[in-house]
Amino acid sequence: MLDDIATFDWQAADAAYHLHPFSDHKTLHQEKIRIITGADGVFLTDDRGNRILDGMAGLWCVAVGYGRRELIDAATRQMQSLPFYNTFFKTATRPVIALAERLTAMAPGDLNHAFFACSGSEAVDTALRMARTYWITKGKPEKRVIVGREYGYHGSTTLGAAAGGMVDMHRQGARLPDFDHVMPPYWYGYGGQMSPEEFGLYAAKQLETKIKEIGADNIAAFIGEPIQGAGGVLIPPETYWPEINRICRENDILLIADEVICGFGRTGRMFGAETFGITPDLMTLAKGITSGYIPLSAVLVGDRVADVLINETGEFYHGFTYSGHPVACAVALANLDILENEKLPERAARMGDVLRAKLDAALGDHPMVGEIRHIGLIGAIELTSDKRTRRFFEKRGRVGTICRDHCFANNLVMRAVRDTMVFSPPLTISEAEIDEMVARATRAIEATYDAVRAEMA
């Protein structure tokens, strides 16, 4: 069929044979899906020749933009010399050793060891297993509860989905014992009359309340994304994370920072932990680690947990065939070169402010825009039925879906989370491309507004 690209009906074959992740297949194929055939810089191309501005960097991952020769060459060279060897049997490869050394040197605090896997979900699964193994080794096996947050996203393996706060996932077989959740620091949604600073402390205190309820003696770890990405780019007030640090430390609960989205420059610093002042015991990384060119993830392990795993646990019965895959590690090293040489974290801070100023100018006064928020090159636009009271639409998610479709029709990828439009473009986006992104987003939001008003009339 690849010889017959022009006449083969790719959409029909997709509908017939392919099960998509996170999709309702009945509605998915009512309209023809788009076939993406190429990409360059911040633009995708589809099979009809449209150039689509990728305001999501793939799935939050293509930090250095598409088509980077350096990454392609790194993969090719590694495939030629050694396409695969495992790290189980008293062996390692040079790329995995070099990457472990480099990541731990870059990371904040005492995250001095690295464990590798292939996806964010596997990294989270690994971090949770490490946290529980730590307490088992310390003779406290009853410390096993993992506390996460509503709207948290920690991947799609069963442990990750249970730690996350997506109720739809819990309902489909991922509600497990020994997982609990607290309120997210979502000021726009839950802050009421409180200032963001007051609300940040209030939301953090919910963890303290939860600890009193289940007992610190039963809790292994708290897991949180510095910014909750898939939950709607919930950017915590400045007061939130320092208080979470304190509560975890005082109650002897391990703190896991899930940096799968925030890591590698997205927030304007190399890691979200630096942006928000988080001092994690474990950190999970994926997505931006290879800019999505090839699957890879890592868990960075702080001295407290690493010392126990290394010196007391004995064998840690956990790992993946492709842990530390040499090709993926070689690509990650080349990707880190680009991030550092082109100072992409600093660039994200600068260009994020440019993007925000332009969004404010174009959409800040729009009656359907309740809030625009951002840090670095990650942000959100809250669509509202009442700007003054920050009210949500009646049927959550419907208007967001309309807006997402208008974005797509305007050749812009922005994702809808409920009625919150979220964006995270490649960190290489230029000012002219930002202008184009804002123009397309504005057209999409105005078209959405017209559609919603027409319905109400």
Ligand X SMILES: *Cc1c(COP(=O)(O)O)cnc(C)c1O
Torsion of CA 125, 130, 131, 134, to 10 degrees: 160
Residue 321 sits at the vertex; the CA angle it makes with 162 and 325, to the nearest 5 degrees, is 105
Q: Toward ligand X, which CB reaches closer, 260 or 444?
A: 260
Sheet holding 36-40, edge to edge: 36-40, 43-46, 51-54, 412-413
**Shortest CB 60 distance to ligand X, Å:** 6
229 contacts 422 by C-beta, under 8 angstroms: yes
**Shortest CB 149 distance to ligand X, Å:** 11
**Shortest CB 71 distance to ligand X, Å:** 18
**Shortest CB 157 distance to ligand X, Å:** 7
Q: Toward ligand X, which CB reaches closer, 60 or 187?
A: 60
**Shortest CB 417 distance to ligand X, Å:** 12
Q: Which parts of 9-48 fold into alpha helices (H)?
A: 10-17, 25-28
121/117 Cα distance (integer angstroms): 9
Residue 450 Rama label (left phi>0; alpha psi -120 to 50; beta): alpha
Distance between terminal CA atoms of the chain? 49
Torsion of CA 339, 342, 344, 346, to 10 degrees: 130
Sheet holding 415-417, edge to edge: 369-375, 378-383, 420-423, 415-417
Q: Toward ligand X, which CB reaches closer, 266 or 406?
A: 266
223 contacts 191 by C-beta, under 8 angstroms: no
Q: Toward ligand X, which CB reaches closer, 229 or 280?
A: 229
Q: Toward ligand X, which CB reaches closer, 258 or 281?
A: 258
Q: Toward ligand X, which CB reaches closer, 153 or 187?
A: 153
**Shortest CB 152 distance to ligand X, Å:** 8
Residue with tokens 């479709």: 405
Residue nearest to ligand X (CB): 120
**Shortest CB 19 distance to ligand X, Å:** 16
**Shortest CB 414 distance to ligand X, Å:** 16
Q: Toward ligand X, which CB reaches closer, 225 or 436?
A: 225
Q: Toward ligand X, which CB reaches closer, 42 or 378?
A: 378
Q: Residues in the site for ligand X, rule: CB under 6 A?
A: 119-121, 124, 153-155, 225, 229-230, 258, 260-261, 286
230 contacts 256 by C-beta, under 8 angstroms: no
